[in-house]
């Protein structure tokens, strides 16, 4: 290999490492991580709302959001006079979920501080996570609604979900279905287009209720019955 090629490769590697370091630096603040974790509910928030969640002054929140915007960790949506912030894309949500998994060690004392309700059911950006979501994934695989790898719907699965009323977009540019490692259960739950569609369906049909301002999700009495009826989930 020529010296020129070696030099080019070293330059690319250095640039990549610098970018990783810059991304890590943008996340290396407790208040900024509070903002990012709040945005894991998949919704768009105003700076004022994020200021309240992170428990910091409005001016400080503005500074943190500027840093997160510059690092492409969040994006800003303007609607009239209001500005809303949300995670930049699904990749950032996946990165945060993986980081939570690393931080959430089995023997870590912080495990005891996590509310049981959050472990039971919560949002993972635009899909369902927690114990109930893992049981849902296992049921979909066991009953052959998705393949063993969790990467796609089966013909039977498409028919069953469409009959139930779950919207399935055959032309979606996202992964139709994918296994997402649950940080608290250390098993897979359903991600991708299917995961997002299921969460919307559950919420629109009053199977679940979101807790405003939090990732926590409450399974309604109707939801318990319907999850058992259609997905054979026993709690």
- Quick: pLDDT tens for 171-211: 888 889 999 888 888 889 999 999 999 999 999 999 999 88
CB 50 within 8 Å of CB 85:
yes
pLDDT level of residue 7 (50, 70, 90 thresholds): low
How many whole angstroms separate alpha carbon 9 and alpha carbon 220? 55
pLDDT at 102: 76
Residue 129 lies in a domain: yes
How many whole angstroms separate alpha carbon 176 and alpha carbon 39? 23
pLDDT at 135: 96
CB 145 within 8 Å of CB 162:
no
User: How many domains, in total, are found in the chain?
Assistant: 2
How many whole angstroms separate alpha carbon 17 and alpha carbon 213? 35
Which residue range(s) make up the domain with 181?
Answer: 105-231
Average pLDDT over residues 30-55: 89
Percentage of the chain beyond pLDDT 70 is 89
Residues 48 and 163 in one domain: no
Residue 94 lies in a domain: no
pLDDT at 160: 94
Residue 2 DSSP label: -
- Quick: pLDDT tens for 218-232: 999 999 999 999 999
Cα torsion 125, 126, 127, 131 to 10°: value is 30
**Where among 88, 121, 137 does a domain terminate?**
88
CB 111 within 8 Å of CB 105:
yes
**Where among 32, 63, 88 does a domain terminate?**
88
Rounded to the nearest integer, the mean pLDDT of the chain is 86
In CATH, what number is assigned to the domain containing residue 84? 1.10.10.10
Residues 51 and 156 in one domain: no
Residue count of the chain: 235
């Amino acid at each position: 290999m020529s010296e020129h090629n070696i030099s080019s490769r070293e330059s690319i590697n250095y640039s990549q490492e610098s970018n990783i370091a810059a991304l890590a630096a943008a996340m290396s603040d407790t208040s900024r991580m509070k903002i990012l974790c709040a945005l894991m509910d998949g919704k768009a928030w105003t700076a004022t709302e994020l200021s309240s969640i992170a428990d910091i002054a409005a001016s400080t929140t503005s500074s943190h959001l500027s840093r997160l915007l510059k690092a492409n960790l969040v994006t800003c949506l303007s609607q009239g006079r209001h500005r809303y912030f949300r995670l930049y894309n699904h990749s950032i949500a996946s990165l945060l979920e993986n980081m939570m998994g690393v931080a959430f060690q089995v023997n870590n004392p912080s495990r005891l501080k996590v509310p049981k309700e959050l472990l039971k059911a919560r949002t993972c950006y635009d899909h369902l996570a927690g114990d109930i979501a893992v049981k849902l994934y296992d049921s979909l695989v066991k009953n052959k609604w998705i393949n063993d790898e969790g990467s796609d719907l089966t013909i039977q699965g498409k028919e069953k979900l469409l009959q139930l009323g779950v919207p399935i977009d055959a032309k979606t540019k996202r992964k139709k279905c994918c296994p997402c490692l649950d940080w608290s259960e250390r098993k897979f739950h359903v991600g991708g287009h299917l995961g997002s569609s299921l969460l919307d369906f559950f919420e629109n049909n009053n199977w679940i209720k979101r807790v405003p301002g939090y990732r926590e999700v409450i399974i309604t009495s109707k939801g318990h019955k319907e999850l058992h009826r259609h997905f054979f989930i026993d709690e």
